[in-house]
Structure 1
Amino acid sequence: MEITLDTKIEKILEIYPSSSSFFARRGLVCYVCGEAFWGTLDELCQEKGVDPGAILTELISFLKQSQQ
């Protein structure tokens, strides 16, 4: 699956469960009361005041390393 800034957080977590640790280490809480954040990767980054492009690049790198 190709991840873009428009990809829903819920879908990322569903396909790549290990991504929850990636988000947590960066202070990007993507679970609320056990439910995944319903917005996109871009929306989560904007809400938390972090650079969406940088997070996207880091996430893709993290997932590639996780799959090796």
Structure 2
Amino acid sequence: MAEKNERKITFETDVEDLALKYPKSVHFLTANNVRCIRCGEPLWCSVGELFEMDHVENPEKLLSELNDFIDENYSE
């Protein structure tokens, strides 16, 4: 598992890279009212830009929860 200071996903991570490497993350984000797939394609922006577009109230918390979700669902 990655340490908190070595998180897999950052605000600079491309949404397309996130969706390709961790496809289950799409469902996690959708369950948290963040749509990262539109018209069948991942959005071409960063995670930070996506959170801003979808007006995420606490982006740091959601990013931490996303990384926890990835840690729990993808072992390396």
- TM-score, L = length of structure 2: 0.81
Larger Rg: 2
Deviation at 1:32, TM superposition (A): 1.0
Sequence identity, in percent?
31
Distance 1:56 1:25 in 2: 14
Distance 1:2 1:48 in 2: 21
Superposition misfits of 4+ residues, deviation over 4 angstroms = none
Question: What 5-or-longer segments of structure 1 have no aligned partner?
Answer: none
How many residue pairs end up in the alignment?
Answer: 68
Distance 2:41 2:48 in 1: 18
Deviation at 1:67, TM superposition (A): 2.4
Question: What 5-or-longer segments of structure 2 have no aligned partner?
Answer: 1-6
